[in-house]
Amino acid sequence: MPLLDFSPLLHGQFLDWLLAGVRLSLLLTLFALCLALPLGTLIALARLAPFAPLRAVAWGYVEAVRNVPLLAHMLFWYFAVPELLPDGLKAWLYAGHIEAVAALAALVTYTAAYMAEDVRSGLRSVPQGQWLAARALGLRHRDAMRWIVLPQALRATVPPLISQTLNLWKNTSIATVVGAAELMYQAQRVETASFRGFETFALATATYLGVSLLITAAGVLYQRRYPARPAAR
Amino acid sequence: MSVLEMIDTYWLYVLIGQYPNGPLGGLALTVLLAGSGLLLALPLGVLLGVARVSPRALVRRPVTALVYGVRGTPLLMVVFWAYFFLPAVTGHKTDQFNTMLAALVIFDAAYLAEIVRAGLQSLPDGQWQAARALGMSRGQALRLVLLPQALRHMLPSLVNQFASTIKATSLGTIIGLSELSFIAGQVNAQVLVQPVAVYGTLALCYFVMCFGLSQWAQGMERRSRV
């Protein structure tokens, strides 16, 4: 094994490339989280709606998305979806950062399906009595959900949502297949240009692991600060 | 080229790649890779899972660090490490199949370790105490009393892990392994005008396998609860 030398990677162009990659990875995570969380919540609500067709559609979405690898989602959003769009929109997309947009779309749809399941199990963890009491007080389904059940459910859902965020962070690496210039892509680029494979991938791995551990720590901290309460009777 | 013509031309290629005139590929390779990955990872996962609940800190701590490390790293990163490390360690170039297999085994073992740990911790304490009271050693208690029960509880999780592994094999595309997703890319490059049909079919192939497996796991879980 050759002697490890990180110095060529820690200044100049190579460092710039890697930092740009970290930035895009973080941005993808942040934007996808901000879009997937409300979408996932809506899907979870639809899965518990009193209207059966809505429930069926939401169930279909979750199953269809979760049983297909994220890589296939990325390829579909990158190669196939633009073909379905009107010409004007397509031209506009190809003029911009279509790779990043396709990756973001795939990450949002994929993460939303997983988050929907987390929110749904959070909703189901709220004791039935809360529902019945709200309804007995004359609240409609919508209001009982909004004022009584959802606020309690979301609190119970935070820990699984944090681990879903961790998955999202790791999943941004797959965006490299459509050429989005996130950390994985930039690491490969630096590796090709610098011939320092071990060092480059060690840096990239340390970055992924570092952010992962931060997210895990956030989860531990939350659980220590707000331990799960036994259901109120 | 119409969609029907496309299916007619490429179905065998999608199913088995260039086999028998070339390497096995496509759907068959995906299933073979996922199956052998999970089978090889299983004994390793059981070992790591048992070590995770060991009372000896010297055993427990490094394994815990390993599990956290692997689970905090994208699979793609593990694939690249396998790609670099295997030739450096073994001295000769490793082909894409074995690289991907090595990455999957490491990755699955870390996830299986957590499944095994949960399975072991879900057993009532009395099982341990009874086995020990009967004069069994720790190893015997684990092997004869605890693991058989834990493994039975784990079966549905294992089937789901198989579905995850099938999804994970798609990353082989990135190192040029001719599994299902790679073949889809090749078909798309040849047909050129039908990306929606090509990638829609790709998604459908994965869906049929993984949905089938997860439904099977759910059925198993329902039956075992009775």
| Spatial distance between the Cα atoms of B116 and B158, rounded to a whole number of angstroms | 10
> What digits encode the pLDDT tens for the residues B51-82?
999 999 999 999 999 999 999 999 999 999 99
Amino acid occupying residue B135: G
Distance of CA A202 to the CA centre of its chain: 24
pLDDT score at B196: 95
What six digits make up the tokens of A9? Answer: 């990677």
- Interface A-B, measured as beta-carbon pairs within 8 A, has a size of 100
Answer whether B160's CB lies under 8 Å from B217's CB: yes
- B3, B14, B33, B73: best to mutate for the A interface, most A CBs within 10 A: B73
Which residues fall within 8 angstroms of residue B170, CB to CB, at 6 or more apart?
A69, A71, A72, B30, B179, B180, B181, B206
Q: How confident is the model at residue A229 (pLDDT cuts 50, 70, 90)?
A: low
- Supply the pTM of this predicted model: 0.92
Task: Identify all chain B residues contacting A83, using CB atoms and an 8 Å cutoff.
Answer: 195-196
Strand-pair partners of B24: B17
- CB count within 10 Å of CB B140 equals 13
CB contact under 8 Å between A173 and B210, yes or no, is no
Q: Specify the higher pLDDT residue, A47 or A96.
A: A47
Terminal CA-CA length for chain A: 63
Residue A168 lies in a domain: yes
Q: How confident is the model at residue A231 (pLDDT cuts 50, 70, 90)?
A: low
Residue A29 lies in a domain: yes
Kindly state the average pLDDT of the residues A7-36: 94
Residue A204 lies in a domain: yes
Residue A194 lies in a domain: yes
Q: Specify the higher pLDDT residue, B39 or B84.
A: B39
Candidates A64, A79, A198; nearest CB to B84: A198
What six digits make up the tokens of B57? Answer: 């800190």
Look up tokens 């809360």; give the residue: A130
- Whether the ω angle into residue B20 lies within 30 degrees of 0, i.e. cis, is yes
CB contact under 8 Å between B202 and A79, yes or no, is no
Residue A1 lies in a domain: no
Residue A163 lies in a domain: yes
Answer whether B96's CB lies under 8 Å from B172's CB: yes
Candidates B84, B170, B174; nearest CB to A176: B174
Whole domain around residue A186: which residue ranges?
7-225
Candidates A63, A75, A84; nearest CB to B181: A75
pLDDT at A233 over 60: no
Interface confidence, given as ipTM, is: 0.92
Burial A55-91, CB ≥16 within 10 A → b, else e = eeebeebbbebbbbbbbbbbbbbbbbbbeeeeeeeee
Q: Specify the higher pLDDT residue, B30 or A12.
A: B30
Q: How confident is the model at residue B112 (pLDDT cuts 50, 70, 90)?
A: very high
Distance of CA A114 to the CA centre of its chain: 9
Q: How confident is the model at residue B84 (pLDDT cuts 50, 70, 90)?
A: confident
- CB count within 10 Å of CB A131 equals 17
Residue A231 lies in a domain: no
Under DSSP, the state recorded for B207 is: H
pLDDT score at A116: 97
Residue A232 lies in a domain: no
pLDDT at B108 over 60: yes
Picking from B7, B178, B171, B197, the residue whose alpha carbon sits closest to that of residue A76 is B197
Structural domains of chain A, count: 1
Burial A188-209, CB ≥16 within 10 A → b, else e = bbbbeeeebbbbbbbbbbebbb
Task: Identify all chain B residues contacting A73, using CB atoms and an 8 Å cutoff.
Answer: 203
Picking from B125, B124, B101, B105, the residue whose alpha carbon sits closest to that of residue B113 is B105
User: Domain of A215: which CATH number?
Assistant: 1.10.3720.10
